[in-house]
Structure 1
């Protein structure tokens, strides 16, 4: 790997993955029986963490096996490399946008360090606090701890949760997340961790008492005096059912709902009636970008006005809104496949904005996209219908379209070029990909590598054992960047100079390719550590 004397903090934080350095060959095979290599534990955990949705079944590994492997790796590294592991968990919840994995990981971090009796590195309390970024998450972490490790919750977990509670508990978050469907209500959390109010938030003491009462003594729960949001919500809830629709659709309806902390979900239950066009049109100005994306079909079924639909489309396609939504690119692809034609252009633009950091690589680039059966079997998350093959095609096409000159190739049992035109929408290129059976990576490389300046493979690395092991068909001086979507343990090639592996479901991995080739040393995204 080329080395430069300095990498700026900005460059490090742009890099959402790190190249895998120097894994060693073992007597190991891929899940299809091909020759494989094992990764160093930090590399294995990083790739698993960014590719894994907790309890998700995959083609080669059960959800339980992946969860156990993830927890075991976190537990080991929490003791061996505590600063690195704490940084991973913090980054995973923040820039990585992987919520459940970071909570599960924080619990495993604390349990392993308590069992080992170590206090080196970041404190257990601070790690718990760092992964709790939404007001329902303190309860989720406690529910996970009790279900997994038992009802005795150690003090570092309680104190970390209490720190997060002081940051996150507000009137609006209580109205949104303190619902009967939750395993742990706000009052349960406060009872368990005994969080004291933040001295800088004089209103928080009354809010905590209200949360406790509404959970344990609802008959005496009184809205805190002076809390405008809770008072506005109480007024709305007291409104007779036959008058509620007029409050929503009449003058000032949108402001009234926003002031009472009413989300579209809460309005749907409160109305006791259909969500017609007038109701949606009142709600839309206060809806966030992801809520808009989720309700496109509902807008169409209700028949919202064309002028309102145009404003919705403009927000969906707005680069700032896309950045604020922090959604994986495949979310926009899924919406595009299920939405009516009038939303197509906006969703296509949003997908393009979500891929805005895919670099424009200079020279000639060979982009190989894995279209094998295992890539189609596995979805990008348990709640998605999109396969990893879809995600691979999205990023492969985006790379090719941005590159100065690129050959885009799909491979499996066989391989073939995927035609595209410069400036063509990514979604049009996706229509030309196919399902191609097994995974013959070496054959694809031997067939399509023709003195390119670099190779980029988008794959799950589970190659079949086709013929004898042969030398690398790509010269050692040519960079080969593997983007691993699945996070499986076996790697399809050894790492080393000019051989790098990345992971994850966002465009951030590709930022590293340019940094490496420009002669900068690659770092983990949350630290300068090699």
Structure 2
């Protein structure tokens, strides 16, 4: 009789986040699993906001762990580490960790005398995607390692400067609040103008002049944005309100690269209805989302509001903005008018485009313990990891063929929802449930489901029944979505129907159908290669 070559036989797929088999303890004392260094760094990187305190780890401790792992892997596995850093700033859309990681990557390799793998210069340039980021990396390097900046760092920054510096970028980011102005950076890295951008030489000279001789600096006549901006700045204050109320006011502000942040200072007065309506056409999608409350308070007209609503809910705009889904939840919570509710719901759904419609029966467990509420997702937001977990869990349940949605902490409860219901409406049914008894939640709610997904920080309390993944039969997949990046996992991962993924976007969900189809899942930046 055949034991292995049967009709039901299929390959057991592997996933990249892998445990070593060594037993650790979670911060709550549960039996945890150690991850290999690459897995630990990945989970930490996609959830790490530099210097941010978490419930179980200080900001300093997390920063030190992040730096130690980057430096170790920069020497041991430079190609993988360079791939992580470039992806982190690109598709991952995480700025500060990528910038810090690139600096530490270069420092570790210079200290070790390593010459294999991707060039240090290339790694530096790959994480600089916004015009203020060359200054961020330079400031980090000099604050950490002194004013002697090595050539690979200078050359990588210079490559980014040529790619990123424009007249509009100078107006937005070259401000007096910065320690390193555009002119300082040009002096330090000696960036030559891009030969394909004949206007850039004059721009660089203007950046130097306005840094060192602002009283006599004149923008190049070839740069229409800078010359239009200078003309607006030259207007007497008493005449500036007339610009925003004129028929061509919105066009003049856009031509001059006037941002909404700068407009109030230019007007030297409040941002009233006319001011907002003049600058709204030139605002980016996420700037619009962040200012919905301000639009309401200023009394922006319904006609203008309708145009705002159309932009923020446009699928292409949502994809282009690359914002985290929970940004739309934050806007929904802070915008007082109901006219924004449906556009934000649409935008949230578009931002969750990677959530699969899973077949069969799915158990979705969302961690609502105290540790998930402790730290904010960013310095600008009041939202927590508990909020992010609820967003992802609710979206997954609403898309699945048949799903049971459960919140858990010290206790656990089913979260009711109906097919086709608003994600934002479902989120209002989640609560704060104290401790982290993940094992009890799985044992109580698992009823022969086809798969289990747990959205959590993995720091469960001990029980007499083993780890949370052991409560589910071995042939049933258990997917853990880690939102905190602590060292110890709550169960094995990488093989045997036990897998972990992470991040603050829905992109990780792409792994689930892949693994259930019997295909191995690669690191996100290696997907095209694997395919």
Band the TM-score falls in, shorter-chain normalisation: over 0.9
Structure 2 Cα separation of the partners of residues 56 and 197 of structure 1: 38
Structure 2 residue 146 is matched with structure 1 residue 150: yes
- Structure 1 residue 356: deviation in Å? 1.8
Map 1:403-418 → 2, pairs under 5 A: 403-418=400-415
Of the two structures, which has the highest relative contact order with CA contacts closer than 8 Å and spacing of 6 or more?
1
1:15 is matched with none
Q: Is the 8 Å Cα contact of residues 412 and 439 (structure 1) preserved in structure 2?
A: yes
Structure 2 Cα separation of the partners of residues 456 and 164 of structure 1: 40
Map 1:190-269 → 2, pairs under 5 A: 190-269=186-265
Map 1:311-330 → 2, pairs under 5 A: 311-330=307-326
- Structure 1 residue 240: deviation in Å? 1.0
Map 1:72-151 → 2, pairs under 5 A: 72-151=68-147
Structure 2 Cα separation of the partners of residues 225 and 433 of structure 1: 57
Structure 2 residue 411 is matched with structure 1 residue 427: no
Structure 2 residue 477 is matched with structure 1 residue 479: yes
Map 1:458-497 → 2, pairs under 5 A: 458-467=455-464, 469=466, 472-495=470-493, 496-497=495-496
Please say which of residues 334-343 and 161-170 is displaced more in the overlay: 334-343
- Structure 1 residue 350: deviation in Å? 1.2
Structure 1 Cα separation of the partners of residues 293 and 60 of structure 2: 34
C-alpha deviations, 1:263-282, integer Å up to 9, x for none? Answer: 11111111112211111111
Structure 1 pair 443/398, CA: closer, same or farther in 2 (3 Å)? same
- Structure 1 residue 76: deviation in Å? 0.5
1:390 is matched with 387
The alignment partner of 1:220 has SS state of coil
- Structure 1 residue 504: deviation in Å? 0.6
Q: Is the 8 Å Cα contact of residues 15 and 520 (structure 2) preserved in structure 1?
A: no
Q: Is the 8 Å Cα contact of residues 25 and 36 (structure 1) preserved in structure 2?
A: no
Q: Please list every run of 5 or more consecutive structure 2 residues that lacks an aligned counterpart in the other structure.
A: 1-8
1:41 is matched with 37
The alignment partner of 1:472 has SS state of helix
Structure 2 Cα separation of the partners of residues 445 and 47 of structure 1: 23
1:381 is matched with 378
Structure 2 Cα separation of the partners of residues 473 and 301 of structure 1: 52
2:59 is matched with 63
C-alpha deviations, 1:393-424, integer Å up to 9, x for none? Answer: 11111111100111111111111211111111
The alignment partner of 1:219 has SS state of coil
Structure 1 Cα separation of the partners of residues 12 and 236 of structure 2: 69
- Structure 1 residue 468: deviation in Å? 5.4
Please say which of residues 150-159 and 224-233 is displaced more in the overlay: 224-233
The alignment partner of 2:500 has SS state of strand
Map 1:323-402 → 2, pairs under 5 A: 323-340=319-336, 341-402=338-399
- Structure 1 residue 251: deviation in Å? 1.8
Structure 2 Cα separation of the partners of residues 309 and 508 of structure 1: 31
Runs of 4+ in 1 over 6 A off after TM superposition: none
Please say which of residues 276-285 and 29-38 is displaced more in the overlay: 276-285
Q: Is the 8 Å Cα contact of residues 32 and 489 (structure 2) preserved in structure 1?
A: yes
1:25 is matched with 21
C-alpha deviations, 1:418-453, integer Å up to 9, x for none? Answer: 111111111111122221111111111111111111
C-alpha deviations, 1:332-355, integer Å up to 9, x for none? Answer: 101101111221121122111111
Structure 2 residue 177 is matched with structure 1 residue 181: yes
Structure 1 Cα separation of the partners of residues 17 and 388 of structure 2: 25
Normalising by structure 2, report the TM-score: 0.95
Q: Please list every run of 5 or more consecutive structure 1 residues that lacks an aligned counterpart in the other structure.
A: 6-17
Structure 2 Cα separation of the partners of residues 22 and 320 of structure 1: 35
Please say which of residues 22-31 and 89-98 is displaced more in the overlay: 22-31
Structure 1 Cα separation of the partners of residues 295 and 421 of structure 2: 29
C-alpha deviations, 1:121-153, integer Å up to 9, x for none? Answer: 000000001111111111111001001111111
Count of aligned pairs: 518
- Structure 1 residue 220: deviation in Å? 2.9
The alignment partner of 2:407 has SS state of strand
The alignment partner of 2:177 has SS state of coil
Structure 2 residue 517 is matched with structure 1 residue 518: yes
2:6 is matched with none
Q: What CA RMSD, in Å, does the superposition of the two structures yield over aligned residues?
A: 1.7
Structure 2 residue 501 is matched with structure 1 residue 502: yes
1:527 is matched with 526
Normalising by structure 1, report the TM-score: 0.95
C-alpha deviations, 1:74-99, integer Å up to 9, x for none? Answer: 10100011000000000000000001
- Structure 1 residue 48: deviation in Å? 0.4
Q: Is the 8 Å Cα contact of residues 273 and 298 (structure 2) preserved in structure 1?
A: yes
Q: Is the 8 Å Cα contact of residues 2 and 520 (structure 1) preserved in structure 2?
A: no
Q: Is the 8 Å Cα contact of residues 312 and 347 (structure 2) preserved in structure 1?
A: yes
Structure 2 Cα separation of the partners of residues 124 and 74 of structure 1: 14
Structure 2 residue 48 is matched with structure 1 residue 52: yes
Structure 2 Cα separation of the partners of residues 85 and 508 of structure 1: 20
- Structure 1 residue 292: deviation in Å? 0.7
